[in-house]
Amino acid sequence: MRFLKRSYVYLIFTFLYAPIVILVIYSFNDSRSRGAWGGFTLRWYVELFQDRQIMNALYYTVAIAILASLIATLVGIAASIGIFNMKRVKRDIMVNVNYLPILNPDIVTGIALMLLFASIKLPLGFISLLLAHITFNIPYVILSIMPKLKQMNKHLYEAALDLGATPFYAFKKVIMPEIMPGVITGFLLALTLSLDDFVISFFTTGNGVTNLSITIESMARRGISPKLNALSTLMFLAVLLLLIIVNIRTSKDGNEGRSKNENIRQSSVFVSNSSHHI
Amino acid sequence: MKRQWIAYPYAVWMVIFIVVPLFLILFFSVTETTSEGISFTTRHFQKFLDPIYIDVLVRSVLLALYSTIICLLLGYPFALVLAGKSFKRKNVIVMLTVIPMWMNFLLRTYSWMTLLERNGPLNSILSALSLPNLNILYTESAVVLGMVYNFLPFMILPIYSVVSRLDDSLVEAAQDLGSNELTVFKRVILPLSLPGVLSGITMVFMPAVTTFVISRLLGGAQFMLIGNLIERQFLSSGDWGFGSALSIILMLIILLSMGVMSKYEREYGGGGLL
Amino acid sequence: MTNEPILKLDNISKSFDGTSALRSINLTIRKNEFVTLLGPSGCGKTTTLRIIGGFEEADQGDLFFEDKNINHLPAYKRKVNTVFQRYALFPHMDVFDNIAFGLKIKKLSKLAIEEKVMYMLKLVDLETFGKRSVKTLSGGQQQRVAIARALVNEPEILLLDEPLGALDLKLRKGMQLELKNIQQKLGITFVYVTHDQEEALTMSDTIVVMNKGLIQQIGTPQDIYNEPENAFVANFIGESNIVDGIMHNDYKVTFLGRLFDCVDKGFTENESVDVVIRPEDIKITKAEDGMIRGRVKSTTFKGVHYEMMIEGVVAGDAEMMVHSTLMAEKGAIVGLGIDPFNIHIMKKGLVE
């Protein structure tokens, strides 16, 4: 029975990883035709880095992701604290509207923003793309920070004021350290969502500004390209690295008084948060 | 910490970038611009009643349903095994389930284009084993396969999360009361895992029914799901009114299925991931 | 208490979302006084404390600190410090940094901070705990840190919001004495909030009994216990028998079907009143010697005394609770005796 169970798990893992492994192998294949192995090469990696279009897209992807997630984190911190202090009705309205971009299909969010930019005659490009990314990032940042605020002893802030701290000093020395894990989680979540986004970007960019996802899509539609295999390999490695960092961070965060299971749950929540965002 | 005003900038942001755009969709879906100006119309919604479009909707829902069912059939046992005692380093196994999801969604889908190609690796292996070749690229099967591949972890994780939190003593109590393994599963584990199953179903069905990327890449240029239909209205036909009406319909489908799900979730006590 | 007043609450009212939490509170607190705000949850005691601390602003009325109006003075500018319910220690700092928090804001020299914190750690008996994370401390130890963190700022008034609520009984008793000692040693005014009447009676110079946003009585523990002004106070402080009575003239009252002598006066003729008698003030006698008679319905041994319920003391269904070191058997017919000065007469209407 145990053998059966294990085999089943390995079978599913094969299903999940086979495509990735194939891409990795083919990225070193010195032959354009997929069926045959033409010897080892790094040619596709060289070509990848020489591809102006891809490098441009990479630049925009990273620039947009970093800018959008930074801005979203700042706005999100302020918004979370403000919402947390609101009375019931107001808070419920804010929280529910905040959920809209998460629950709405991305394609609807994308065209809604496109209609907005068209209506205010904002030309599609870097700015519109950045605004769109900030918009879909903030809700995730808020969702990461709010639980930390709720967990916090509600008298901590008052205790700081009581001991003579000005509101700003109390925020800096007491609130921020308390919500920091949520802030970092939110920032990383925003960063990855932004790096990965296709649908919303697809509708809100233009004038030659594209990100990696859009470039990959247009290349993939034109057929199979060994450069994409090389790109996949590199991105897979990057993801692996990022996940290892995140995991070390969350397990550090969870060392005190939290069980292993809880940690797993946290990381799976981290993932499921992004479920609607594909 | 009485200050609420620091949330006001975001409140303004929400109005401009979340609320107003949704109203714009609503506005475009019920108006048309003629030479006399803008007037109210139900034309766009009526257009949808054409069998061609109804077909697209039906196909979208059906394919999403198939994918959800396959994900459930594959994912439920997987989650149970994961939550059980078969593996020592559970968090590593869970991590391994998660990692593929963090790979770029388009690259994941693209990888299947490579795999399923007529002369691709899959068929090479099949030929080597002297089995018949599989040519499903650019068919509905490929689209369903792509959905299952991309969304399977969304089914596994919520179920795993619920089942792994089940108290061991519940199972032991059931065994103590004379249940065999099958009864324990039927009477204890299955009902208690339902909240996770519901979350999983929601998390697979929603993105599957709204996707337009998977169908574009694995279904071929002419393959139409409702997502593709919407995209086409905005980016090639320029019929924003019809596109907006379709978006409203899509939102309604999502709302409806979430309503159904949350009704079930309330009945089964909730507690899934969302 | 003849010290000069330090804090004055003048006609303070406060409501939350239309529900009034405080109704015209008037209270004067003197220097070095140990004042306890006592009442059931929701009585407004914590709200009063939070208004003094500067975490809430009163809707109406004025708050004076040494004759200066401090209605709008923010919390961080008040010479008042608070020990919070559940302590509110900063979890990301160690014990030393928690206590030094206020001193660092005042920009004291490192040396001065070190000296003051060490003095405080010694005062609360945690000398070796400076570098410990507050998360590793027991409830009692966290409590001491919270007290040290507040006291190190040398406040004029220390506010304590149910500081012992989370501790177990034995620890609580010990901390009560310790807090009282600290207060006397440092000569600081304490305003203490609790719902535990025993705690209030043990520690306070003055007790303020509150209920439903109103002050019911202000007085010394003896006053409050011996001369409760109304049935609520009588009932809340210790256990009481409260029965209906009629005041005929001064010093004459009828209850439980009999005329008693008492020491109260000033009621209108034949006024309906509440009569309060403490269980320990009722003497058990032989049936024929008692002022009234009854049957022992139950007898429970409580350690120091027996608690007995006596029924049938009157034609109705009145039961009296009696605490006595003498035991009467269940079912026995006994007599009850009450001295006139142990009969407390209260006006009707203030009963909750």
Contact B207 A269 (CB under 8 A): no
**Could you tell me what percent of chain A has a pLDDT over 90?**
57
Mean local confidence (pLDDT), C152-158: 93
- pLDDT value of position A81: 93
Beta-carbon contacts of C181 under 8 Å, excluding residues fewer than 6 positions away, are none
Minimal C-alpha gap between B177 and chain A (Å): 23
Q: What is the reported pLDDT for C255? A: 87
**pLDDT value at A266 more than 50:** no
- Residue of C54, C91, C105 with shortest CB distance to A163: C105
Mark yes or no for CB contact A160/C90 under 8 Å: yes
For the ranges A237-241, B259-263, C330-334, C347-351, the lowest mean pLDDT is seen at C347-351
Is the pLDDT reported for residue A125 higher than 70?
yes
Segment among A223-227, B23-27, C245-249 with least mean pLDDT: A223-227
Q: What average pLDDT score do residues A141-164 get? A: 92
Nearest to A12 among B78, B150, B211 (CB): B78
Residues in C closer than 8 angstroms to A173, CB to CB, are 90, 101
Quickly state the pLDDT bin for C250 (edges 50, 70, 90): confident
Region C272-281: what's the mean pLDDT?
A: 88
What is the per-residue pLDDT across C252-273, written as a single tens digit (0 to 9) for each?
Answer: 888 888 888 888 888 888 888 8
pLDDT at A276 over 60: no
Residue in this structure with the two tokens 């199953």, named with its chain if needed: B197
Q: Give the pLDDT score at A263.
A: 41
pLDDT(B92) > 90:
no
Between CA C247 and CA C51 the distance in angstroms is 41
The mean pLDDT value for C321-345 works out to 88
Please list every residue in chain B whose beta carbon sits closer than 8 Å to the beta carbon of residue A31: none
Judge whether residue C164 has pLDDT over 90: no
Whether C76 sits inside 8 A of A178 (CB atoms) is: no
Is pLDDT at A270 greater than 50 in this prediction?
Answer: no
**Considering only A193-207, C3-17, C242-256, which range has the smallest mean pLDDT?**
C242-256
Would you say residue B256 has pLDDT above 60? yes
B26-55: average pLDDT: 90
CB pairs under 8 A between A and B: 278
Q: Looking at the predicted structure, is the pLDDT value of residue C351 above 80?
A: no
Classify residue A250 as exposed, middle or buried by CB count within 10 Å of its CB (0-12, 13-18, 19+): buried
Decide if A196 and B105 are in contact by the 8 Å CB cutoff.
yes
Contact check, Cβ <8 Å, C76/A164: yes
Question: What is the per-residue pLDDT across C7-30, written as a single tens digit (0 to 9) for each?
Answer: 999 999 999 888 889 999 999 999
3-class secondary structure per residue, B157-224: HHHHHHHHCCCHHHHHHHHHCCCCHHHHHHHHHHHHHHHHHHHHHHHHHHHHHHCCHHHHHHCCCCCC
Q: Cβ contacts (< 8 Å) between B262 and chain A: which residues?
A: none
Looking from the CA of C127 toward its CB, the CA atoms found within 13 Å total 4
Residue C69 has pLDDT above 90, yes or no: yes
pLDDT bucket at A278, cuts 50 / 70 / 90: very low
Q: Which residues of B touch A78 (CB under 8 A)?
A: 6-7, 9-10
**Mean pLDDT in chain B?**
87
Q: Looking only at Cα atoms, what is the longest distance across chain A?
A: 74
Region C304-328: mean pLDDT is: 81
Please say if the pLDDT value at position A259 is more than 80: no
Q: Which pLDDT tens digit goes with each residue over A212-229?
A: 999 999 998 887 788 888
Per-residue confidence (pLDDT) for residue A267, from 0 to 100: 44
Per-residue pLDDT reduced to its tens digit, C131-143: 999 989 988 899 9
pLDDT at residue C65 in the model: 93
Query: What's residue A260's pLDDT?
Result: 40
Distance between CA atoms of residues C127 and C145, nearest Å: 11
Q: What is the pLDDT of residue B158?
A: 93
Using CB atoms, which residue from C84, C92, C149 is nearest to A178? C92
Q: What chain A residue is nearest to C135 in terms of C-alpha separation?
A: A256
Most C-contacting residue of A86, A89, A163, A180 (CB-CB within 10 A), to test interface = A163
Taking an 8 Å cut-off on Cβ atoms, the answer to whether C135 and A256 are in contact is yes
Lowest mean pLDDT across A11-25, A55-69, A121-135, A233-247: A233-247
Q: Do A129 and B46 form a contact (C-beta atoms < 8 A)?
A: no
What per-residue confidence (pLDDT) applies to A271?
46
pTM (two decimals): 0.81
Phi, psi of A51 (to 5 degrees): -75, 110
**Which pLDDT belongs to residue A261?**
41
CB C62 within 8 A of CB C69: yes
pLDDT score at C139: 87
Residue pLDDT, tens place only, B138-185: 899 999 999 999 999 999 999 999 998 887 777 778 777 777 778 888
Cα-based distances in Å from C110 to A238, B163, C96, C97, C105: 46, 54, 12, 12, 12
Distance from CA of A209 to the nearest CA of C (A): 44
pLDDT band per the 50, 70, 90 thresholds, residue B209? very high
Report the pLDDT value the prediction gives residue A250, as an integer from 0 to 100.
65
Q: Is the CB of C74 inside 8 Å of chain A's CB atoms?
A: yes
Cα(A194)–Cα(A215) distance, integer angstroms: 15
C101 neighbourhood in chain A, CB within 8 Å: 160, 163, 165, 173
Residues in chain C closer than 8 A to A165 (CB atoms): 76, 101, 105
* Residue whose C-alpha is closest to residue A12's, from B262, B157, C296: B157
Q: Average pLDDT for residues A7-11, to the nearest whole number?
A: 92
Q: Closest partner residue to A220 among B13, B97, B106, by Cβ?
A: B106
Give residues 53 to 72 of A whose Cβ lies within 8 Å of B.
none
Query: Measured between CB atoms, does A203 come within 8 Å of chain B?
Result: yes
**Which helix (H) or strand (E) covers residue C119, if one does?**
helix C110-123
- Separation in Å, CA of A159 to nearest CA in chain C: 7
Is the Cβ of A4 closer than 8 Å to some Cβ of chain B?
Answer: no
B19 pLDDT band, cuts 50/70/90, is: very high
Q: Which chains touch A (3 or more CB pairs under 8 A)?
A: B, C
Does residue C316 surpass a pLDDT of 80? no
Question: Is the model's pLDDT at A256 over the cut of 60?
Answer: no
Scanning C111-150 for CB atoms below 8 A from A yields 135, 149-150
CA distance A212 to A196: 8
If DSSP codes are grouped into helix, strand and coil, which group holds residue B131? coil
C9 to chain A, minimum CA–CA distance in Å? 19
Q: For residues A183 and A30, which has the higher predicted lDDT (pLDDT)?
A: A183
